Structure 1
Amino acid sequence: MKTYLAVSTAALALLASACGPRSSDQPQASAADRKLQALYEREWAWRQQEGLRGNRGADEAGLDHLPRVDAKTQAAHLDYWTKALAELDGIPANELSAEEKINAAVFRRSIQTLADEVRFKTYEAPFNADTFFWASLSPRSGGFRSVKAYENYIARMRDVPRYFDEQIANMRDGLKRGYSVPRVVVTGRDKTIEPYIASDQSNPFYGPFREMPASIPAAEQARLKAEGDKAIREAVAPAYNKLLGFIRNDYMAQARTTLAAEQEPDGKAFYQSQIEAFTTLDLTAEQIHQKGLAEVARIAAEMEKVKAETGYKGDMPSFLKFLRTDPQFYPKTPRELLGFSAYVAKRVDGKVADFIGFLPRRRFTIIPVPPSLAPIYTGGRGGLESCMMNTYDLPSRPLYTLTALTLHECNPGHSFQAAVAQEATRRPAFRRSTGFSGYGEGWALYMEWLGTKMGVYDTPYENFGRLSYEIWRASRLVIDTGIHHYGWSREQAQQYLRDHTALSEHEIETEVDRYIAWPGQALAYKLGEMLIRQKRAEAEAKLGPAFDQRNFHDAILALGSVPLTVLGARLDQFIADGGKNPKGWNPALPEFEKPE
């Protein structure tokens, strides 16, 4: 196994000129380039045809059905991706241009992950503690722009019964072989289905019909609303009723009582595949566990110093209790919480140009987590269109952590990063829709730390909240491997968070359940952030006054979401190039030219 954050010589050689120019004086694409381009363009077109894109744009793209998820289709997907990987192996990597070497690395890791998911039959457990296949079929807000888009939406509503029957069949197969979401995590999640069993306009599926654009004639609006009503009554509500009965009467009764991924069928290989998929690093559970313990100890020492800055005289356990229970730290209304987050995001707008060179045009909104999800959802989650903040159970939502959470989820974290990625129109389509947790979560956690440089933590309490969030992410390295490799109990994992963070009891419970249900995902955050901070420290030491953090951050963002090995190699090259990004550094700019 390679040691943590060491980028292999081969990877560095492949990426030595990773972001080199793509200008008119470059040689024409090689035969290897053309073969690779044909491969990933063909695979991406096939993936969209199969309904596997799974992200924004599908509604307007004309999809009139939900994807097929039955075992036969899954086997066909595995066969396709296995052949794609074999075809990729046949393309000589040393004959690829610099940009196509990056495309090849991203394509390989993403297709290998997709193939592994099918190989280990993860489709037989198609939900986790806070992400559900049944909760993502209706838009969270807004309507569609055209009659055709509404007709496609109604057709998808009509397809829900077939789609759910295939999911139920897959879950039954998983139960037979001892593979399922753990019972303790399933408990209570059935309530998220309840809003969808309504057969009237209170059903979330009716939402888009409330915001139909004026460009659609009134008569057409009336027709579409009537058809939507009928589809809810005849297809959607009955399908959700059937699913609810299955989850409550069958799945919850038969789901496994063990927690560890390694205790599932072929568990050790499965957990290792999840580690590699989410971290994009070649590390063992044991190595990650030890790194987590070391990071927890380092951050704990820093927390003691910040505690002293607050003037609090007691020990750390009493201080954490004080933070969890004193009303001064908690919002009184949802609007207060949302307003605090919005203020942080807007303050960052006034500072970000000093830290990042290329700023995206896209804007995002801040909205509350939908009520149907909020009780079991995380504190916040950011994306291209919106940054959701959880206003459920306000006594569990401390304001002293909200600055760090906003930097992570909203600006300049996930929402900002997603906007930059969207503008990279010269990047291949599959790259613009491919995301790696180590890269994305690593950037967002690094943004929490960068807030100390921006000056947005106004009090020692807010800085302590940041450190509490950082040690929370370091604790994940310990807890995820503790549960899935070392066999920790749910209570043991909860106590570890209780002892080391200022998270509320509600957050501790929902977070641990998330780690139980989603092996490996929690490992990505800290490992990605550690890479970025390590490379920044190296750049500062080697470049001295020539180090410009705007160029450093642009190098990361312009690369797009990539495996951490690729990111590490790119930042090594950034340092070797004297802290400069080469001509053609940003695929979001016309003709790859950096503005003066």
Structure 2
Amino acid sequence: RYFGQNMDNMRAGMKRGFTVPKVSLAGRDVSLTTIIDAKGEANSFYKPFKSMPASIPAAKQAELRKLALQAIDKSVIPAHQTVLTFIKKEYEPKATAKIAAYDLPNGKAFYAAQSREYTTLDLTPEEIHQIGLDEVAKIKAEMLAVMKEVKFEGDLPAFLNFLRTDPQFYVTKPQDLLDRAAWTAKEFDAVSGKYFGRQPRMRFGIFPVAPELAPFYTGGRGGPGGYWVNTYNLPARPLYSLPALTLHESAPGHAFQMPLAMENKGLPEFRQNTYISAYGEGWALYSERLGVEMGMYHTPYEHFGMLSYQMWRAARLVVDTGIHAKGWTRDQAMAFMRDNTALSEHEITTETDRYIAWPGQALSYYLGEMAIWKA
């Protein structure tokens, strides 16, 4: 039913000439084929049934496992196959070859609405673009100071390439990346009481991103109860930015702030569970900067990783408006990210395609953080 309703909505969009850009669909079928190709107990939908609570009687567990296997075979896999067929044969051939929101029907108004939703501000694309350029220049000065501190001989592009390619900044085993993330999270636990008078009761675990999502997923994702670290393509997951990522996605970022709101009995229920991107993402990005004061960055490279993440979000203001309102190409957007951040080529690609497919959302991070700093 869920898939059916979404396909109906997508068909309605196709009739209006309103689709996601074709380039953003490339490779996304992996998330479907991974489910389709995994039969029986190998399917990720079966995972919860492998380890059920001991309070469930053994006979009941056996019954539930049998029903789960039947549902996977009769419902889950066929439903995913239906969506895959729809995407490949019906939707993708008619998806727009253009990448700008401005090129969609009534696109200028659509992008303005997206920007207002995600930032809560009435700024024009030109104003946001200029804010981004100004902030990029400020952060670049901080980056150059770190380069000087580590006595790197060369310009900023050379330093960024050094960070992307030197083996000292990368692990070779997924568990090592998860362990490093857990270490940073526990370091925050040690100082959290000094900075936050109220702590959430809900704790969070640290998990790898599911394999069907990982190839095109972000570096991490956090929320109530969990922090998911992307262990796919480890040469694209630098250690120097892991502390900033962890503070953003776990605590005091998403896995800390969101439970606090949910547990706040002084708020009406809809506010406990409402997510406003400019606040949520602005707070998480603010948390990265707060890591300096909390002593979470132990080397100049980790401090640079935090600055690179700040630069990444400032660059989003330039790139998102560039793509959707100023006629930038995908290559232009990627080049700007490449020249100004220490993101890996894999992340630059997946991030650029994300901005193309999700107009306006990327604006919420840095503008939200700026509002918190001004408060």
| 2:150 equivalent among 304, 310, 326 | 310
Corresponding position of 1:193? 32
- Alignment of 1:445 with 2:285, yes or no, is yes
> Could you tell me whether the CA contact under 8 Å between 1:187 and 1:252 is conserved in 2?
no
1:578-589 aligned within 5 A: none
User: 1:217 Cα deviation (Å)?
Assistant: 2.4
CA deviations on 1:68-126 (whole Å, 9 max, x unpaired) are xxxxxxxxxxxxxxxxxxxxxxxxxxxxxxxxxxxxxxxxxxxxxxxxxxxxxxxxxxx
**CA distance in 1 between partners of 2:2 and 2:374 (Å):** 46
* CA displacement 1:302-359 (0-9 Å, x = unmatched): 1111110111121111111111111111112112211111111111111122212212
Q: What is the TM-score when the length of structure 1 is the normalising length?
A: 0.61
SS where residue 80 of structure 2 aligns? helix
- Aligned equivalent of 1:465: 305
For 2:6, give the aligned amino acid.
Answer: Q
Contact kept, 8 Å, 1:296 with 1:471, in 2: the verdict is: yes
Aligned letter for 2:217? Y
| Residue 422, structure 1, aligned to residue 271, structure 2 | no
User: Aligned residue for 1:167?
Assistant: 6
For residue 337 of structure 1, what is the aligned residue in structure 2?
A: 177
Q: Which residue of the partner structure matches residue 84 of structure 1?
A: none
Query: 1:199 Cα shift?
Result: 4.7
Deviations 1:207-246 (A, max 9, x none): 2222222222233222222222222222222121111111
In structure 2, what is the equivalent of residue 379 of structure 1? 219
Residue 366 of structure 1 corresponds to: 206
> Which structure 1 segments of 5+ residues have no match?
1-161, 536-596
Percent identity over paired residues: 56
Contact 1:446/1:529 (<8 A) preserved: yes
Give distance in 1, aligned partners of 2:184 and 2:369: 21
What residue in structure 2 maps to residue 301 of structure 1?
141
Pairing 1:251–2:100 present: no
- Give per-residue Cα distances to partners, 1:138-185, cap 9 Å, x unaligned: xxxxxxxxxxxxxxxxxxxxxxxx332232222122122211111101
The answer as to whether partners of 2:35 and 2:212 remain within 8 angstroms in 1 is: no
Which consecutive unaligned segments of at least 5 residues does structure 2 have? none
Contact 2:216–2:350 (CA<8 Å) still a contact in 1? Answer: yes
Aligned mates of 1:357, 1:164 — CA distance in 2: 44
Query: How far apart, CA to CA, are the structure 1 residues paired with 2:168 and 2:58?
Result: 51
Aligned structure 1 segments of 4 or more residues deviating by more than 4 angstroms? none
Question: Aligned-pair distance for 1:531?
Answer: 1.2
Residue identity opposite 2:24 in structure 1: V
Q: Higher helix proportion, which one?
A: 2
* Aligned counterparts of 1:526 and 1:479: Cα–Cα separation in 2: 13
Secondary structure of the residue aligned to 1:206 is: helix
Matched residue of 2:287: which SS? helix
Partner residue, 2:241: 401
Structure 2 residue identity aligned to 1:490: R
One-letter identity of the residue aligned with 2:13: G
Distance 1:176 1:447 in 2: 43
SS in 2 for 1:382: strand
What's the offset of the Cα at 1:195?
Answer: 2.6
Greater gyration radius: 1
Partner of 2:19: 180
RMSD: 1.3
What are the equivalent positions in structure 2 for 1:244-283 lying under 5 Å apart? Answer: 244-283=84-123
Query: Under a length normalisation based on structure 2, what TM-score does the superposition of the two structures give?
Result: 0.97
- What is the total number of aligned residue pairs between the two structures? 374
2:316 counterpart of 1:476: yes
CA offset digits 1:361-417 (Å, max 9, x no partner):
221111111111111000011111110111111111110111111111111111111
Instruction: Answer yes or no: is the 8 Å Cα contact 1:396–1:507 preserved in 2.
Output: yes
Tell me, yes or no, if the aligned pair for 1:374 and 1:392 is still in contact at 8 Å: yes
Letter in 1 for 2:60: E
Query: Offset at 1:519?
Result: 0.5
Instruction: State yes or no: 1:390 paired with 2:230.
Output: yes
